[in-house]
Amino acid sequence: MKKLISISYVLIAFIFLSQKLFSQSNQTDSTIHPRLVSDKSERVGKIIVTIVGFENNEGDCRFALNNSEELHEREDTVFIGLVLPIKNDTVVVEFDSLNYGWYAIKVLHDENQNSELDTDFLGIPSERYGYSNNASGWFGPPSWEKAKFLLNQEVMKIEIEVD
């Protein structure tokens, strides 16, 4: 009789534990397979940037695409930096295969090709420049928060006007 009671307890414990194990595996299926849900961080898109407002075709357009606030705030490095020719007072540049995420753009019309933003004696820029979202700042460049945009589609078109 004791043996029968012991076997009964073992069977009840097995049934209880197996139900608990199966119910947990069913509940955690979605966390075990997170790829079943679309993961936008691994998706890529294309950005087509059109820069307008150049007064002439002289010099170059200095272009910086940044993917973080840290890079946006720095002057000595960028995520992608380009020196582009100006044609018909416009510049068009395309980026394929960029990961979805936050970006910001800075552009400068470097008319005299000295690789810097020229200013007058008061520190006011004498060359035209622009930022994504056509953002502007008081007494300096606009913040990352003002200039950033979210790439979250296959093709994104952006227009920046240099002032």
What are the two backbone dihedrals, phi and then psi, of residue 4, each rounded to the nearest 5 degrees? -65, -40
According to DSSP, the β-strands at 80-85 and 101-110 are unpaired
Tokens of 72: 């946006």
Q: In the structure encoding, which two tokens stand for residue 157, read together? A: 């078109």
Q: What is the pLDDT of residues 77-132, one digit of tens each?
A: 999 999 999 999 999 999 999 999 999 999 999 999 999 999 999 888 999 999 99
Range from 27-31, 70-74, 138-142 carrying the lowest mean pLDDT: 27-31
Predicted TM-score of the model (pTM)? 0.73
Contact 156, 102 (CB under 8 A): no
Residue position matching structure tokens 């002032």: 163
Q: Would you say residue 60 has pLDDT above 80?
A: yes
Q: Which residues contact 41 (CB under 8 A, 6 or more apart)?
A: 99, 100, 101
For the cut 60, the answer to whether the pLDDT of residue 8 exceeds it is no
